[in-house]
Every structure is written in C-alpha cells, then in structure tokens.
Copies of this chain bind each other. A is one copy, B any other.
Amino acid sequence: GVNYMMKKILYETEAINQDGLNGQSYVKNGLKVAVSNPREKTLGTNPEQLLGLSLCTCMNATLQAIENEQGLKHTSEVRVSVTLIKGSTGLEFLVKARIHIPDVALSTAQKLVNLAKSRCPVSKLLSNSSNYDIEVVKDY
C-alpha cells in the first residue's frame, strides 16, 4: 500500500479493460484501443505494444528534458522491444530499450542515458526486474 496523502499528485488517469484479451481497452474520455491476442492474426494492439509505447515515450521525454537542460539539441531516439517468452515463471516479457543519440559521443550518450534511467518514472517501475535492460547504441 502506498500512502497517497503524503505525496503531491500532479496527474491521475485510469485505464479499463472488461473484455479480456480480445476486445477493447480504454481510458474514460480518452484513448480507446482494440486489443487482441498477438499470437493470432486478429487486428489490434496488445499489452506488449502498449508497454513498449509507454516506456519509449517516457524515456525519450526524459532524455529530451535532459538534452534541453544541457543546452543540447533534441536528437535522442528510443526503441523498446518487448518479447513474450516462456520463461522459468511461465509467460514473461523481456523488455529492452535501445537508445541512440546521434548528436553526441557514445560516452556522453551513456551519461545522459544513466541520468534518464534514474529519472524516468516507467524505467524506475521496471528497474528491479531482471527482465529489463537498457542499451546505448551507435546506430539501429
């Protein structure tokens, strides 16, 4: 349990699923997405894609803020792969963020990414999982 009372709330949203794997998930007065089993040929997104979209957006928004603080042009790009595997605990997701910052040296990119890791809320939520990994890449 988390003590909400002691914290300063900046934003709150709620996502809802009634249908299960095939149907839709939605935010009230917000995004509504068709969802489907990724292992079948039905149209729709899935938890893997939605998690990847959440993390790549959060991580790159954080990097953009850091670039801005340091007087750098925003050039960072984040790609997040999410892989569904049959692991030791049953079905598991492997989450890997690959980050490219073309405008700076690789060593500088690594420093910016380390800072972003320590700030990005989604990355912090995943940081205690051994299935989560971040890599700085020279190119994709």
A residues adjacent to B (C-beta < 8 A): 1-2, 4, 7-21, 25-27, 30-31, 33, 35, 38-39, 45-61, 63-65, 74, 76-87, 89-96, 118-119, 121-122, 124-126, 128-133
A41 vs B93: C-alpha distance when bound (angstroms): 33
**How many copies make up the complex?**
2
Chain B residues whose CB sits within 8 angstroms of the CB of A74 once the complex forms: 20
User: Nearest chain B CB to A42's CB is how many angstroms away?
Assistant: 13
Q: Known contacts being A64-B20, A122-B93, is A15 close to B80, with CB within 8 Å?
A: yes
Chain A contact residues: helix, strand, loop or mixed: mixed
| With known contacts A25-B53, A57-B46, A84–B11 Cβ distance under 8 A | yes
Task: Report 23 cross-chain contacts, Cβ distance below 8 Å, ordered by A residue.
Answer: A2-B131, A4-B83, A7-B85, A10-B39, A10-B86, A11-B39, A12-B82, A13-B49, A14-B81, A15-B53, A16-B79, A17-B57, A17-B78, A21-B60, A25-B53, A27-B45, A47-B58, A47-B121, A90-B119, A92-B124, A93-B125, A124-B129, A125-B129
